[in-house]
Amino acid sequence: MCLAVPAKIISLNSNTDELLQTGFVDFSGVQKEISLAYVPEANVGDYVIVHAGFALSVLDEEEALASLQAFQDLADFEATL
C-alpha cells in the first residue's frame, strides 16, 4: 500500500533548473528535503502531497489541514487501543 502525505513547504533551494528543484517540507514537525520537479509552481508556504520523496501536487490549505487532522484523529484513536 502506498501513502501520500500532505506537507508544508518551508524553504526552497536556489536551483534554477526546474527538474532539479528541491525544498524542505514539514510533516507535522518532521522536516525532510524533497524533490519539487513535478510542481514547479510550488512556493514557500504551500502544501503539497508527498510520496517517496517527491511532491506530486499542490493542495489547497483547507484540504491539507483536513487531511492532517484525519491522520491525527487516527493516531489518537490507535493510542486508545
Say what the pLDDT of residue 81 is.
Answer: 83
CA distance 40 to 76: 35
Task: Give tens-digit pLDDT for 4-24.
Answer: 889 999 999 988 888 899 999
Instruction: Report whether 51 contacts 3 (CB < 8 A).
Output: yes
Instruction: Report whether 54 contacts 46 (CB < 8 A).
Output: no
- The closest of 29, 34, 25, 28 to 71, measured between CA atoms, is 28
CATH of the domain at 71: 2.30.30.140
Structural domain total, the chain = 1
Domain hosting residue 9, numbered range: 5-79
Task: Give tens-digit pLDDT for 26-71.
Answer: 988 999 999 999 999 999 999 999 999 999 999 999 999 898 889 8
Say what the pLDDT of residue 1 is.
Answer: 54
**Residue whose cell numbers read 500532505:** 6
CA distance 81 to 12: 40
